[in-house]
Each structure stands twice: as C-alpha cells, then as structure tokens.
Structure 1
Amino acid sequence: MASNFIYNAIDEDLKEGKYTEGVHTRFPPEPNGYLHIGHAKSICLNFGIARDYNGMCNLRFDDTNPTKEDVEYVDSIQEDVKWLGFTWKDRKFYASDYFEKLYGYAIKLIEAGKAYVDDLTAEQIREYRGTLTEPGKESPWRNRSVEENLDLFTRMKNGEFADGEKVLRAKIDMASPNITMRDPVIYRIAHIKHHRTGDAWCIYPMYDFAHPLSDAIEGITHSICTLEFEEHRPLYDWLLENLGFDKNTRPRQIEFARLNITKMVMSKRKLRQLVEGGYVSGWDDPRMPTISGLRRRGYTAAAIRDFCDRIGVAKANSLVDVAMLEHCVREDLNAHAQRLMAVLDPIKVIITNYPEDKMEMMACENLPTGDDKHYMPFSREIYIEREDFMEDAPKKFFRLKPEGEVRLKNAYIIKCEEVIKDENGNIVELHCTYDPDSKSGGKTAGRKIKGTIHWVNAKTALDAQVRLYDYLLKDEEGAVNGDFIASLNPDSLVVLNNCKVEPSAKWAAPGTKFQFLRQGYFCVDKDSTMDNLVFNRVVGLRDTWAKVAKK
C-alpha cells in the first residue's frame, strides 16, 4: 500500500473508529471540458485509495453549471477513466441527481436563519466582500426575515426573476479572515436548459454548496481535492455541520498539490481557448495534454499510471519535468512496441550487383526480448534516410559516404560507388554494390563495419504520412505572465508526406504502437486507413530523464 500524508490521515481516522462502513472516495469532474493529465493523477489517487483500502470510489459529475457543460464531455470523461484502467461499476452519479435534495438543504439554512436572498449584483457583491486586509460590508438585504427569504427563494425557483437579479447567500461572517466565508453565494438564477434536467430548474447550486453535500449524500468518507480548495474547506465543513451531518461519519476534505508539468498547458480554460480558437484540431489533438490527446498520440495507460505513481502525492505545488513522463512512456513502449523499419526522408539506393529479378525475405526482430520475428522483403532497389548519406563526410561519419561501407540492418554490407544528381545538383539516387557473403551466416558476416542503418525495400514499401509533434509552448514564462497565444510554438506540428514504411504496417489498426528503428516510437493515428497510412510520433528514442534518474 502507498505511504503518504493522505494515507496516513485515513489510517488515523480508521484508528479513531471513524467511518466504520469502510473507506469511500469519489472522482468528481465538472463536465465542462475534456480531462487532462492533471486529472489522471486525481483519478489514480481516488480509485487507488479505494483499491488499497478495499473500499469504493464513485464517478460523479458535478454538473451544476449548465452554461458550460455538455454530454460530449460526460462521454469523454467516462472513456478516459475506463482507458486508464478503473471502473466505478454501478456507482455513476450526477450532482443533478440531488437537485431536489440540495434545494431542500437550502430551505433548511433559510429556516435556520443561515441563508438569505440578496439583491446585490455580482459586481456589488465583489465590492462588498472586502479585501485580504479589510473586512467585508454587509448587504442591505442580509437581515431579511425568514419568511421573506423563503418567499423570494421559492419565487426564484419558479422563474419569476431574471438571471443575476437575485442570489441566495449563506449567512456566515463578513469579517472573516477567509474571504470564502464572507457570505458566499450558494444559488444563482440561470434560465438555461440543463443537459440532464432540461428546463425543470432555473436556479442552480454553486459548486461550493453542491460538492460537500453531494459527498455527504453518497456517503463519501474522504474528499480528496487539489490544493486550491484548501481555503474552501472551512465552508465545506460549515455546511455539513450546520445541516446536521455527524462529525464521525461526514466526509473529510484533504488537499494535495495539483500536477504541473513543464512544456504543458494545464489550464482547462486555456485548453478550451486552444480548441475554440482553432489552434489545435480538437480536444484530442496529439499535442494537447488531454487524456484523449495523449491516447491518440500513443501514450499508454500503463505509462501514465506509472508516472502518477512515481511523482507521488505532495502537500506543496511543484513543477514536474516532462522528461519524466516521457521516460515512463519509453519504458513501456520499449517493452511492448513492435520494431519496424520506416524511412522518413527517403533517398533511393540501387544495388547494381544485386540480381534484378531476385527478392529475399529478411528476418527482423519484433521485440528486444524473445525470438518472435517478422520478415521484410529485400531486393535491388531500397530506400535509406537522406541524412544517412553525406557526400563530403567528416572523418567520424560512420554512415554511408562515397567509397564508404555501411551495414544494412538485418541484411548486407553495401558500398557507395556513385552519386547521381539532377540538373540542379541535388542528390536523387545512390548506386552501390553489396557483399553477398555479409548477410548473417555468410562468410564475411562478421566483418567489422562501424555503421548500421535502416532501410525499406523500394518495390514493396508503403507510402505514409508521419506527423512529428513538439511541445505546444515555446515560452513557458510568457504563457504564464504574458500573452498565452503568443507563446505557442509555431513548429509544434511538422507533417512529412513522402515517408516509406515496410509492408507489414499495412494491416495495423489505429492505436497500434511501433518503434521505428533509429527514429523513435510511433502510433497509428485514427485518421489512418490501409490505403492512407498515418503515424504520430509518440516520443523520440533519446531519454534524458533516465540519465538524471541514475545519478
């Protein structure tokens, strides 16, 4: 079982005899956008606690703001949680399930003289709230009678007032040092259709009101929240206490540091801005840090769970190097991604002494461990990477050069005899010879050649589009303190349209991962078809974090 301050707090509660029915957590997303990798940490934590304590974890949609919510987001959230490997079984709930109960709780607060209907505008409420150094000022309508408040709140519910005309506020303390406790708004008017309840309601509870009460209704024992909700905890506890929930069984809120990763946009508001502004192709664009974007790019659920486990749970906000996440992805893909030959910038090589009508099959490894292999054709004409040839090569260039030799992976040693150029002096073709005895098992197979390069057979290679992704942000500091859009990387996507891959890739389904030898890890995109192959680069081969971790 994990050991951190949250687990220690749960152990302490159980030791004191609280929550005798067992540990019960929840993952409570608002369905106003797609989940990002920060939410993955919360998913792993909440479902992990339930697993480790043989308890339960609910999936609950806190759908209290119909102006920003959509069924599309509900569906995507469920898909993401399942993909990460967790299940809520029959415990899927919505805050909207409790609208009638929440309304009843609001009535109880009014009857107890602890809530009132206020006529101040949103701007006036902000002005009356005060500052960190100055107390707030009471609303002129703060001392309405219980009867008048009940009447006005009922009329709010019945749709007699316009949006923003009135709100319901908790009556707490306008001089509290915690601004959250200065008579927070708990209900507002919104004449808008809800994605589940339709037009049944025109008043909606605020998140800070609905969240603790939904937890209590569901029997949640530990409400695990990110650190920005720490100042909201007094309100969480105030509501539960003033509505009569027993201290030994009511939920306990515990905060942990949210996940921040270098090079990544971790704000749902900014992610929405990217989507709605057309800066990316959608919520699942492989450059996005959304779970659906990472999934489409080729990140695996196992790698993300591993990453969340490695970074642990902290009390203070910090910044995690994206190289650590990429390291987890590489580790998983290295063990599971089939090896494949692909040439991203091809140049043709004609092996002049190889028989024109001959073709043979070369055995290629599928994975670095085990004996499983696949076969790829080899013949007189092949493609190699343009960067694997240099006409005026320096001394330590160990790939192909005029009069130089190089070994073709899983095949023969070839020697460059002639460079063919077009009328503009561009290299278009290389003429080489091969050593027929240099293949595995041949007389000269053991001949030492310093360079080994990959290749594909020209006659059977498949055309493919390869999408190379870089980080969305070119300037993280600018994104935080300046113009977010101006800080975007204009080269975050480079599309290569003339790539060649070995024929075994033709039948790979979208989502299939490969290691392109010497290139990196790639994933078949959802746009790919058998006649139009499309690959996303998941991550390169170079692993900087592995070196850091060993120190």
Structure 2
Amino acid sequence: MTDAAEPTRTNFIRQIVEADLAAGTHDRVVTRFPPEPNGYLHIGHAKSIALNFGLAESLGGQCNLRFDDTNPHKENLEFVEAIKTDVRWLGFEWGGQARFASDYFERLHGFAVELIEQGLAYVCELDAEQMREYRGTLTEPGRPSPWRDRPVAENLELFARMRAGEFPDGSRTLRARIDMAAPNINLRDPVLYRIKHGVIHHQTGDAWCLYPTYDFTHPLSDAIEGVTHSLCTLEFEDHRPLYDWCVEHVSVPSRPRQIEFSRLNLEYTVTSKRKLTELVAEGHVEGWDDPRMPTIAGLRRRGYTPAALREFCERIGVTKSENRVEMAMLESAIRDDLDAHAPRRMAVLRPLKVVLTNYPEDEVLNISAANHPKDETQGSREIPFGRELYIDRADFAEVPPKGFKRLVPGGEVRLRNAYVIRCDEVVKDAAGEVVELRASIDPATLGCKPEGRKVKGVIHWVAAEYAVSAEVRLYDRLFRVAMPGAEGQDYRDDINLDSLEVLVGCMLEPSLGGAQSGERFQFEREGYFVVDPDSTAQRPVFNRTVGLRDSWGKGK
C-alpha cells in the first residue's frame, strides 16, 4: 500500500465494480494498465493510472502493469523503464512482476490455432490496400476475401508456414472470420496476425516473425491474467464487440468486462504519441522530459508533485462525456499543493544593485525569516543583510505608472523581513540605463511598522555579498492556443515561440546554494520553482513550475 491509496471520489466505474463485488461476481477486483512502450507516458496516462491503480488499491484488489509490446519496430527498453519510473513516481505499485504481452505469445498463438480449427479464422492474401477496398464503408457492407473459405487444414498449414518465416511481410495475414456485413466495421474480419521480419524484439529477440494485433492480444492477455474489469478510453468502445468475441471463442480462464470512460483532453497541449514523438524528433523541445511537454517525466522535471497530479485526476472525475479540461485546473492543483508544502525563499531574477549609504560597510546582520508563513513546523532560516543588496528591476520605476507601490526616486518601500528604505539617488550608465540605486535605511523600522509610518510597498531582496548566482528557466505553455491544430491545421503552427525564457545571473539567497535536484520552493512574489537535474553546485539551475496566480494572457 502506498500513500496514493487514499479513498477516492465515487464515479460510475467505481459503482459498477462495487456492485459486481457485492453481487459476488468477483471475489477480488483486478485491473490492469497496458501501455505501449513506444514513448513516454503523458498527462492522459496519469488519469488512467490513477483510475486503474487507485480503484484496485482502494478496494483491496490488484492492478497489473502490462506492456503491450506487439509493435517491436517502435518500442525499446528506454520506454519500458521510463514507464515503470512514472508509475512508481505517481505513488503506485503493480501486482507481482511487470508483465509483457510477449510473455503470452505462445499461448496467443495457440488461441489463434483454436480459432482456425473452429473455422473462425483464415489466412488471407489480400494486401493492406486491397483489404481496405474489400472492407466496405459505414453505409455499404464489405466483400468477402477470396480466401475466406479456405479449408481448415490449409489454413493451419499456411499459418504454420507464416510462423516459420516462409512468407514476406504483407503477403499473408490471419483474419478472424466474423461478418463482412456487420454494422461495426471492427467486426468485418479483422486482422489477428501479421508478418514482421527483421525486427529484434526487446523481450523475445528474433524468436518471432509473426506478431498479434492489439485487438487480439489485449482481451486475451486480460483473460489470461484474470483481469475482472478492463478500463479503456472511449475510442475503444467500438472495439468492445471484438474484445468480447475473442474472449468467448477460445479457451481462456476468465471473462473480463470492458468499460469505457472519456479520455483526458487538456487545453494548450497535444497528447497524441505521434505528435509528441514529432516534437522531440524535430527539435521543438529538448527531449521527452522537457518541462514544456505534457509527459509525466516533463511535469516531474517542471516541479509538479505526484499528489498534485493525483488530486487533479480526482477533480476532473471519470465520466462518459468527452470534454476539454482547462489548463487552469491543472495549474490550480499544483499551486494548491505547493502553497501548502513549499518553503519560501527570496530570489531576484532580474537584479538591480542597491547601495545603502547609511549602513556600515563591514556590518552583516542575520535576519530570521520563517520558512513558511502558515506552517510553523517548517521552522526558520537566517538571511544575511548587508550594505549592498539586489532588488528586482521591476520593483523600481523612475517614472512610475498609476498605482505603482514599489520603489521610486524619493519614495520609500519596505524590504521583506528587514528595513524601510528610501531611494535617494539613481545611477545610470553612458546609455542612460539605470545600473544602481543609492538608498538609505530607517534604523527604527527593522521588522516592524512604527505608528504613523505608511509604506505601501513590500519587496524582496538578496544581500549582494552572499548571493548565489543561478540560471532560472521560465517555462510557459508550449502552445499559443487552447486547441492546437484545430480545424485540420498543423498543430506545429500553434507552438508558442516564447515558451522558454532563460535568465542567467539571477541572485538567490544563500540557503538555496545547497538545494538538491527535485527540491521545490516558492520564490517570494515570483512563483514556485524546482531544482533542475542539470543543476550543480557551481551552476545552480531552477525551473519555474507555476506562477503564484493564473497570469496567462494577462501580461505575465
């Protein structure tokens, strides 16, 4: 049991499963999560993981992790290991060892032979284009293959020769013999096996040149494993009759029940494996774990927490209705989690030096500051204060806009946890750019607000002598529009070219110098940040996870 095994909100699938258990249909619920190892998992998979693993755990059952590895030319062990890492990071553990559809290749082959022997499968010599022509349309029935009525003995012989590697790719397939006039096109003699030569499978090597299709493999693998409830997204609803047909016509040990739910459609993202692969291969992002990607690895690197992703999945719920989820819901879930748990720190992302002319040059004051304003258990830390400081350039305006409450020439502002200061002089370079401010402190205002003194603005700062120089990466949404590629347009045309801004020479309070990869903080007044895996003691790197509020389209 993991910390992810919290009581879950009810939904129609949970109600079905509970009813089956109460009726004695099953003694124990068994679900499965069956990803293809041909890419990294994304946010949509997180919903399926939370449903399958969370449901099984909360009802005292088991969820199997099974890799659907029937397309070895697209798969590799990197994806297998990445998927395992993501599932565990989300807080779940699968029952027993990780499974592979290829573990059952021999048994699946045996089931195919059973279908042939019953006259329910045949070897077809139509190529892919011809098969599409024969299949018919939604309004017209299909035509039978010329080889549909081969004798059983001939089909058995040809299928054995297919396995032996006697035929080239695409020259033969094994098809189910169901109904070429079925209203559901998936039942018009679907392909069960195809030939693939020259492929080294990551689990079986070169032992097979004959590979089962997903629609044949998936239901029978579920049945072999004793899965009670096979939970799929809605695009598999039309495949359910074929799922049931496969299970009903061979000697499997159990009869799973397929139930469909709506997939996660999230604004400002794409979750198609093909499109995600293109984004990586074409260099639009810097890999599968780029923090702009909707992959679980990317979200992890960006600073999202497992608890926040699980809570997001709970908030959006499980329904039959297709809908598009606002990105703000995901960002709200991570913001709520980090607000409660992330310690506070001060970081100046665009530094402007301030010299306090009436503060002693050699005096250092250690100021105690709470690590979290609402959680005393997080304690406090010491922040050094000296004559020279950095503040953010945005906190000073020589000609302030209306309503500006920060530092201006001749004006005052409070430094967080420290003194009130007044800007006395503005120093510029030859080009007229502000390079330094000269200011003075009010010694009576350390950490307090004297009566009669009205100072509206409070800004953050870092002592120049002790500041840690760092790189900060400001990540934003990868796409400019809520529905990339809508109306048949190329989704790549909607990529946000300003989705990453890299700031160097940012100045951070010294306590951040020893932060480790994966540690998360709130940079006061800036947002939530995480230490990137690229970070080193010599070159700290922080990624922005999310802002303090939803500022998309509001002049970030």
Structure 1 and Structure 2 fold alike (TM over 0.5): yes
Distance 1:26 1:190 in 2: 27
1:96 is aligned to 102
Among 175, 191, 205, which residue is 1:198 paired with? 205
Distance 1:394 1:386 in 2: 14
In structure 1, list runs of 5 or more residues that go unmatched: 546-551
Q: Is the 8 A contact 1:438 1:446 kept in 2?
A: no
**TM alignment of 1:20-419, pairs within 5 A:** 20=27, 22-191=28-197, 192-245=199-252, 249-371=254-376, 372-419=379-426
Matched to 1:122, the amino acid is A
| Cα shift at 1:73 | 0.4
Matched to 1:421, the amino acid is K
| Cα shift at 1:11 | 2.8
2:4 is aligned to none
Matched to 2:359, the amino acid is Y
Among 431, 439, 459, which residue is 1:432 paired with? 439
Q: Is the 8 A contact 1:439 1:445 kept in 2?
A: no
Distance 2:454 2:107 in 1: 79
Distance 1:307 1:87 in 2: 20
| Cα shift at 1:13 | 2.4
Q: Is the 8 A contact 2:269 2:483 kept in 1?
A: no
Q: Is the 8 A contact 1:473 1:479 kept in 2?
A: no
Q: Is the 8 A contact 1:344 1:496 kept in 2?
A: yes
Matched to 1:362, the amino acid is I
| Cα shift at 1:19 | 1.8
Matched to 1:258, the amino acid is R
Distance 2:15 2:96 in 1: 29
Q: Is the 8 A contact 2:515 2:531 kept in 1?
A: yes
Distance 1:445 1:97 in 2: 77
Distance 1:142 1:156 in 2: 17
Provide Cα deviations, 1:311-335, integer angstroms capped at 9, x if missing partner.
Answer: 1101011111010111110111011
2:14 is aligned to 7
Aligned CA RMSD, in angstroms, stands at 1.4
Matched to 2:418, the amino acid is A
**TM alignment of 1:505-524, pairs within 5 A:** 505-524=512-531
- Name the % identity: 60
| Cα shift at 1:222 | 0.3
Q: Is the 8 A contact 1:437 1:445 kept in 2?
A: no
Matched to 1:152, the amino acid is L
530-539 vs 264-273, greater mean Cα deviation: 264-273
> How many residues are treated as equivalent by the alignment?
541
Q: Is the 8 A contact 1:346 1:384 kept in 2?
A: yes
1:549 is aligned to none
Distance 1:52 1:363 in 2: 44
Matched to 1:303, the amino acid is A
Matched to 2:343, the amino acid is Q
Among 473, 478, 487, which residue is 1:467 paired with? 473
Q: Is the 8 A contact 1:465 1:499 kept in 2?
A: yes
| Cα shift at 1:476 | 4.0
1:308 to 1:478, Cα distance in 2 relative to 1, 3 A: closer
Q: What's the secondary structure of 1:416's corresponding residue?
A: strand
Q: What's the secondary structure of 1:103's corresponding residue?
A: helix
2:3 is aligned to none
Q: Is the 8 A contact 1:167 1:188 kept in 2?
A: yes
Matched to 1:242, the amino acid is H
Matched to 2:423, the amino acid is C
Matched to 1:125, the amino acid is M
Distance 1:232 1:327 in 2: 36
Distance 1:263 1:446 in 2: 49
1:356 to 1:301, Cα distance in 2 relative to 1, 3 A: same
TM-score of the two chains, using structure 1 as the length reference: 0.96
Q: Is the 8 A contact 2:29 2:228 kept in 1?
A: yes
Distance 2:140 2:24 in 1: 42
Q: Is the 8 A contact 1:181 1:235 kept in 2?
A: yes
Provide Cα deviations, 1:520-546, integer angstroms capped at 9, x if missing partner.
Answer: 00000000001101110000001489x
Provide Cα deviations, 1:89-111, integer angstroms capped at 9, x if missing partner.
Answer: 42421100000000000000000
Distance 1:445 1:452 in 2: 17
Provide Cα deviations, 1:486-513, integer angstroms capped at 9, x if missing partner.
Answer: 1111111111112111111111101110
